[in-house]
Amino acid sequence: MEKVVFMYDFDKTLCDRDMQEYEFIPNMQLSANEFWTATSNEAKNPGNNIEKILAYMYTMMKYAKRNNIALTREYLNTCGSKVKLFQGVKDFFVRINQMANSLGFEAEHYIISSGLKEIVKGTEIAKYFKEVYACEFHYDKDGIADFPAYVVNYTMKTQFLFRISKGAFDLNDEEKLNAKIKDEDRYVRFENMIYFGDGLTDVPCMKLVRENGGTAIAIYQENNDRIARKLFEENRVDFIAPADYRENSYLDLVIRKVFAKMVALKNLNDLRDEEKVRGNR
């Protein structure tokens, strides 16, 4: 069965704020503004010269230590369990899978986020994702975070589109990632990819998906469509939609139309394959 892949940023795409803001930051006795200001200061300090994503991971470690909270995988999973998802997200994946199957496709779902993998893994929707590509900590012998193990910034996100397309899911598999693979031999063709994001940091992924025949959708929260509208007007996304994942929502309608396009492309590809067979007789 031909695959169709749904790829999601997480923060402000599936939930209404950054994932650290639901549980971790309040536990540090901080407001969200105070935490992100501290992170920005770490990044901008000339003596540090630290990358933005590394800065927030360092700041998390610093405040956890200051508040005597063990920054373990289990603790971060607990933080994930407190994440509040947009309307319809919890039921979205099963419905999309059923819709795909009814049209002759097999749907898979992936997270590509600059947030934390262990927080995503603690959410109630984690079971629906084939892979979660996000930042990770290294943990010491006591299971406490002591160093960033993996960082995903907005430019690095694009590599995961190629990994998914080629089936190079192992992060150490550089050979398959960089191999030249024909479209018909790929794990999934780009034209069968749909990317969901909410802002400018998603633009590289949106551009790559669109340039290769896939679909990019910008998600926006109620009465706050400025960034999404700008992305649409600049021809960086195919569609914009409110953050409502329920059945019969506008987003649901868009996905149904995208599936119709995929069905048409699949039928054309099948005809082309038949012609190749005839030509080889």
Q: What is the pLDDT of residues 114-135, one digit of tens each?
A: 999 999 999 999 999 999 999 9
Please check whether residues 120 and 203 belong to one and the same domain.
yes
In the prediction, which pLDDT does 278 show?
A: 65
In the prediction, which pLDDT does 249 show?
A: 97
In the prediction, which pLDDT does 181 show?
A: 80
Please check whether residues 55 and 142 belong to one and the same domain.
no
What's the farthest any 2 CA atoms get from each other in the chain? 73
Kindly give the confidence (pLDDT) of every residue in the chain, 281 residues in length, as a single tens digit, with 9 standing for 90 and above: 899 999 999 999 999 999 999 999 999 999 999 999 999 999 888 877 889 999 999 999 999 999 999 999 999 999 999 999 999 999 999 999 999 999 999 999 999 999 999 999 999 999 999 999 999 999 999 999 999 999 999 889 999 999 999 998 888 878 778 778 887 788 999 999 999 999 888 999 999 999 999 999 999 998 899 999 999 999 999 999 999 999 999 999 999 999 999 998 888 877 877 766 666 66
- Unique residue bearing structure tokens 């506008």: 250
In the prediction, which pLDDT does 140 show?
A: 97
Residue 109's CATH number: 3.40.50.1000
Please check whether residues 104 and 209 belong to one and the same domain.
yes
Please give the tally of structural domains in the chain.
Answer: 2
Single out the residue in 81, 102, 125 at which a domain terminates. Answer: 81
C-alpha separations of 239 from 4, 168, 177, 206 in Å: 18, 28, 29, 11
Closest C-alpha among 101, 273, 262 to residue 182: 273
Please check whether residues 77 and 160 belong to one and the same domain.
no
Single out the residue in 81, 98, 121 at which a domain terminates. Answer: 81
Please check whether residues 255 and 242 belong to one and the same domain.
yes
Please check whether residues 117 and 172 belong to one and the same domain.
yes
Please check whether residues 68 and 149 belong to one and the same domain.
no
Q: What share of the chain is helix, strand, coil (3-state, %, to 5)?
A: 50, 20, 30
Q: What percent of the chain has pLDDT over 70?
A: 97
Q: Give the C-alpha separation, 259 to 103, whole Å.
A: 8
CB-CB contact of 98 with 252 (8 Å): no
Please check whether residues 8 and 26 belong to one and the same domain.
no
Please check whether residues 105 and 33 belong to one and the same domain.
no
Rounded to a whole number of angstroms, the CA Rg of the chain reads 20
Q: Give the C-alpha separation, 254 to 103, whole Å.
A: 16
Please check whether residues 235 and 136 belong to one and the same domain.
yes
What are the backbone angles phi and psi of residue 133, rounded to the nearest 5°? Answer: -100, 110
C-alpha separations of 236 from 130, 153, 204, 233 in Å: 27, 19, 9, 8
Instruction: Provide the 3-class DSSP secondary structure of residue 106.
Output: strand
CA 169 from centre of chain = 15
Please check whether residues 30 and 139 belong to one and the same domain.
no
- Edge-to-edge strands, sheet with 105-116: 145-150, 131-139, 105-116, 2-8, 193-197, 215-220, 239-242
Q: What percent of the chain has pLDDT over 90?
A: 79
Q: Which domain holds residue 94?
A: 2-18+85-279
User: Using CB atoms within 10 A of its CB, is residue 158 exposed (0-12), middle (13-18) or buried (19+)?
Assistant: middle
Please check whether residues 72 and 203 belong to one and the same domain.
no
